[in-house]
Amino acid sequence: MSSSRNLLAISLVGLGLCACGGEGGPGQDETDTSGDEGDPLLELPEDFPAPAIPESNQLTAAKIELGRHLFYAEELSANQTMSCGSCHLQELGFSDGEVTPIGSTGEALTRNSMGLTNAAYASKLTWANPNLDQLEQQIAIPMFGEFPVELGITGHEDEVLARFAEDPTYVAMFEAAFPDASELVSFDHIIDALACFVRVLISGDSPYDRYRRGDQAAISESAARGAALFFSETLECHHCHGGFNFSLATRHANTTFTQNAFQNTGLYDIDGAGSYPPDNRGIYEFTFADTDMGRFRPPSLRNIAVTGPYMHDGSVATLGEVLDIYAAGGRVVAEGEPWAGDGRANPYKSGLVAGFELSDQDREDVLAFLTSLTDDSFLTDPRFADPSP
């Protein structure tokens, strides 16, 4: 099987179109994970565990640098109009600031561009695919997927590869990254390099991180009060957004059990029986189990203040609105609006979204805490920036 056909098969598995129904992704038996907390390529904060890295794609400086160039290369799309970086902007925590993105051919996607902050620690990738647990799997989907088209490589594999194979600068980078390869410029190598780059996008130096490590002046008194509320049993936020990565959907090199983190947060109930909008129904689209209707992955809250709009479909504009929805125990979409209904009454809503009361000061404090999770050094780190002039 050719390299391009191999990767297309991987992308189909990730999309749930192949016979792979288990919680773990394909290739688990062949792909063990390991991590080296002393690896200088990762530059981990002192209190972060090592991420799980496949034995088949260990980090090297050359692969990371090739991946950075490829991440920002519009030549990777069939019509050379967009790159991975088009929907994942560093200054926005590698999200894009749009409700939902537009693919290279003008096709609108149905899911909001999830930020890539600390994607190396995600136990599942994208908003609602229980089969995706390796970056190498996920990266193939925007490259080769046709429903919807993003980079649009399918049917244009040879010409896309030729762009890099005929560029001396890229050839030199591929040689440095894969010195023993019999086939130098291939989609397998492109995906491995991109995965290596995404894995080093580690953020752990926000004001709240510094506060937690002992710098009491790093955040305001309001943010400190907000942190106490966030981690309280009154608000319940930490049950889905806890741990060092502020997401239940987290794993690392020493993880022995991965929790099923998908949750229904009562965002919709369009028929009074729990339904979500068509083509945006969470992991129900894979399991067809009613109880999985509207269940999506909780994203990391790191850099959350710059990654709006929010929720899986980008339908919530501000963090304040997000907080108000959780305080209400779900969202009411008024009659006459698209997908009208009372999400508070959704029968599949998580029991953790029960609602709570906040004073105006409490609300301000929680928002101050969430803003304190913004890591400006990460958002401006030249190691992650577009290498083009």
Instruction: Give the tens place of pLDDT for each residue, 42-74.
Output: 889 999 999 999 999 999 999 999 999 999 999
- pLDDT bucket at 216, cuts 50 / 70 / 90: very high
pLDDT value at residue 40: 75
Confidence check: pLDDT of 37 > 80: no
- What number of other Cβ atoms are within 10 A of residue 347's Cβ? 12
- Is there a binding annotation on residue 84? yes
**Bridge partners of residue 295, in order along the sequence:** 282
What's the Cα-to-Cα distance from 355 to each of 294, 326, 378, rounded to whole Å?
18, 6, 33
- What number of other Cβ atoms are within 10 A of residue 51's Cβ? 27
Confidence check: pLDDT of 332 > 80: yes
Confidence check: pLDDT of 31 > 90: no
> 80 — alpha (psi -120 to 50), left (phi > 0) or beta?
left
What per-residue string of b and e applies to 234-259 under the rule 16 or more CB within 10 Å gives b? ebbbbebbbebbbbbbbbbeeeeebe
- Is there a binding annotation on residue 18? no
- Is there a binding annotation on residue 240? yes
In sequence order, which residues have a C-beta less than 8 Å from that of residue 319 and are 6 or more positions away?
304, 305, 308, 310, 367, 370, 371
Q: What is the pLDDT of residues 88-110, one digit of tens each?
A: 999 999 999 999 999 999 999 99
pLDDT value at residue 115: 97
Give the C-alpha separation, 94 to 96, whole Å. 7
> pTM value?
0.90
- What number of other Cβ atoms are within 10 A of residue 156's Cβ? 14
pLDDT value at residue 339: 97
Mean pLDDT confidence for 141-157 = 97
Q: In degrees rounded to 5, what are phi and psi of residue 295?
A: -90, 120
pLDDT value at residue 257: 82
> Of 168, 155, 160, whose CA–CA distance to 190 is shortest?
160
Domains of the chain: 3-203 (1.10.760.10)
Give the C-alpha separation, 72 to 358, whole Å. 43
Q: What is the pLDDT of residues 249-300, one digit of tens each?
A: 999 999 988 888 999 999 999 999 999 999 999 999 999 999 999 999 999 9
- pLDDT bucket at 223, cuts 50 / 70 / 90: very high
The position carrying tokens 């369009």 is: 270
Neighbouring C-alpha atoms within 13 Å toward the C-beta of 131: 21
Neighbouring C-alpha atoms within 13 Å toward the C-beta of 15: 18
| Average pLDDT of the residues of the chain | 91
